[in-house]
């Protein structure tokens, strides 16, 4: 039987566990993916301006007695490396979810089962909403769900917008300095006991947001949506993305790598490419050993060779038309 004690204990446990569970489930933000992270919970408003410095240019060869800074362009080539910072505006949005717990649930499933279910549902729901918005902003610099490859605003490798191959999904290769993240409200739980319905109403909310800071430090890789498609991901796509980021002087992480976020379909395609013959695990000892070798290569040798570390996510944009 549900008691006032069990209801109060449920609230205390969910409050205590929501943030740790959320942090465990959410991929963004992550210092390996986004280094620019801000907490604006103590200020007013739901926006912040992030300063962005302008790019520097190569210096010139200067003759003796010639002007080093020649704004007139008479006898010495420019450029002048003036400091001219701009800014981008990051806005936070509210994410939320809720659940109804009947008092019969305590009686039939037991306190621990109810507690674990509530914490998992609330934390995973707001974690997924955060990741989905973040990966949408990475590709389009907006929070509106993308429906077409033409919605992608960053450089693209792999399938192009007019390829007409059906629906596509996106993977990303990016510099950790490409994006910014801000938190306005940490994951929070509120509870209300509905006596007339003999149930408990619990909601979890948070306020956070993302913004492109350096769009040229992001590459999107479009591949055919689904598992085992013909127009699948390839190591060549990721190598091309890394080369484009290097050409843009995009900074790497402390180990010299970019972050590559891949879909499950892209992960399978890369594993098949590593196999050489397209084999995947069938449950035998030999196949498991092959999968372990693939995993080691994907995380180690191949990552070092290409110049990026791989992370899998189910929350990158999907269902994007290619025509």
pLDDT per residue as tens digits for the range 160-192: 887 778 899 999 999 999 999 999 999 999 999
* Beta carbons of 189 and 19 less than 8 angstroms apart: no
Range of weakest confidence among 4-8, 25-29, 206-210, 240-244: 4-8
Look at the block and give the residue holding tokens 């566990």.
17
C-alpha pair distances (Å), 250 with each of 152, 158, 210:
19, 20, 19
Q: What span, in angstroms and rounded, lies between the C-alpha atoms of 46 and 207?
A: 9
pLDDT per residue as tens digits for the range 268-300: 888 777 765 444 444 444 455 555 555 555 555
Question: Tokens in use for 116?
Answer: 């674990």
**Can you state the angle between helices 264-275 and 285-299, rounded to 10 degrees?**
110
**Can you state the angle between helices 4-25 and 111-140, rounded to 10 degrees?**
30
Q: What pTM was estimated for this model as a whole? A: 0.83
Q: What span, in angstroms and rounded, lies between the C-alpha atoms of 164 and 150?
A: 12
Nearest to 36 by CA among 50, 24, 23: 50
Look at the block and give the residue holding tokens 């933000």.
29
Q: What span, in angstroms and rounded, lies between the C-alpha atoms of 183 and 232?
A: 36
């Amino acid at each position: 039987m549900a008691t006032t004690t069990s209801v109060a204990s449920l609230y205390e446990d969910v409050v205590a566990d929501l943030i740790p569970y959320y942090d465990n489930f959410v991929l963004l933000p992550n210092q390996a993916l986004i280094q620019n992270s801000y907490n604006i919970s103590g200020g007013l408003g739901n926006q912040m301006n992030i300063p962005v410095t302008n790019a520097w240019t190569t210096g010139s060869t200067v003759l003796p007695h010639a002007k080093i800074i020649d704004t007139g362009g008479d006898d010495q080539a420019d450029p002048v490396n003036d400091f001219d910072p701009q800014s981008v505006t990051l806005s936070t949005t509210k994410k939320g979810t809720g659940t109804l717990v009947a008092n019969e649930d305590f009686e039939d499933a037991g306190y621990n089962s109810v507690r674990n279910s509530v914490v998992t549902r609330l934390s995973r729901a707001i974690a997924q909403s955060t990741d989905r918005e973040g990966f949408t902003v990475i590709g389009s610099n907006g929070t509106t769900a993308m429906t077409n490859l033409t919605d992608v605003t960053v450089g693209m490798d792999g399938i192009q917008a007019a390829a007409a191959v059906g629906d596509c999904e996106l993977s990303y290769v990016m510099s950790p300095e490409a994006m910014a993240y801000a938190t306005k409200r940490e994951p929070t739980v509120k509870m209300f006991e509905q006596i007339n319905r003999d149930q408990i109403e619990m909601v979890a909310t948070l306020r956070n947001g993302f913004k492109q800071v350096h769009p040229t430090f992001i590459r999107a890789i479009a591949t055919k949506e689904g598992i085992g498609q013909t127009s699948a991901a390839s190591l060549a796509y990721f190598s091309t993305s890394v080369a484009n980021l290097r050409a843009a002087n995009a900074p790497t992480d402390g180990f010299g790598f970019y972050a590559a976020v891949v879909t499950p379909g892209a992960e399978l395609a890369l594993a098949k490419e590593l196999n050489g013959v397209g084999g995947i695990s069938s449950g035998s000892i030999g196949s498991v050993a092959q999968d372990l070798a693939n995993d080691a290569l994907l995380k180690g040798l191949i990552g070092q060779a290409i110049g990026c570390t791989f992370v899998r996510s189910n929350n990158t944009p999907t269902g994007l038309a290619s025509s």
